[in-house]
Amino acid sequence: MTKKEQRLKTLLIVDFLAFGAMILINFLGASGFFNGMSQAAISDHYPTLITPAGFTFSIWGLIYSLILALLVQCALKLRNGVYSSLVHKFSPYFLLSSFLNGAWIVAFSYDQIGLSTLLIFALLFSLIFLLKSLREHFGKQKESSLAHICFSIYTAWVLIATFVNVSAWLVKINWNGFGIAASIWTIVILFIALLFTIAYSYFYQNSIFPLSIIWAFWGIYKNASLNSDQIDLAPVIQALLLVSMLLLIALMFIIFKKNQFRLFAQ
């Protein structure tokens, strides 16, 4: 084994350890190990109109399963030049994102909502740069497909989580919204999320990115439906969510067709 191969093997082992630590911290956060309260319990203290229904957060299971599958794939094919290069390129961003993910969980669990907001912004940008690195170095190589799928779903979900975290922080500091109703701000935030998703997905020809947003919008829609009698402009919010989901589904097919029936531009 050459020194380069040994370094890559060591780097991949560190990736696995970081992944394991991230999973452990997430489990401890969900079980209430930190501060005696689960993340869900903390979130319930700061209700927002853009917080998705509880079932929506099951997407974390998919995200972590995809990451594990990617790491296993890289481990099995590490002698392949493309996969060794893939590990070399994504590992620094992955290690940073894993640290930020864990730190975010701990900060949120200890009710440090302001700090958790800064951490989730940092996590979002680390994942955006990770995707950028994948596009620049592996855009035309099918071996990187799983990595693109994995981190597209992850990044898009963290985008929504960032909006929710910011909203929770604003609730905590008793922000009055400049006198504008919370329902109006909800419409504005959803519209911004929709526009960003359309722009990002179309510009980078990424047909997978909208998936997490659609899933989140469905969760928000279900919450709005259950509490419609308590929400101002509930029909407007629900209509916006339904139209947004349809637009994003159509966008996915448009990009898929434009990419000659590939998930990503090549």
Q: Tens digit of pLDDT for each residue in 42-53?
A: 998 998 999 999
Output the CA torsion sign for 150, 155, 160, 161: positive
Range of the domain at 168: 3-258
What is residue 136's predicted lDDT score, i.e. its pLDDT? 83
Instruction: Tell whether 131 is covered by a domain.
Output: yes
| Each residue's pLDDT tens digit, 29-70 | 999 999 898 888 999 899 899 999 999 999 999 999 999 999
Domain-embedded: residue 135: yes
Q: Could you give the number of structural domains in the chain?
A: 1
Domain assignment present for 30: yes
Cα–Cα distance, 106 to 37 (Å, whole number): 11
- Domain annotation covers residue 266: no
Element (H, E) at 158: helix 145-172
Q: Is the pTM of this model over 0.75?
A: yes
In terms of phi and psi (left: phi > 0; alpha: psi -120 to 50; beta: otherwise), the region of 86 is alpha
Instruction: Indicate whether 203 belongs to any domain.
Output: yes
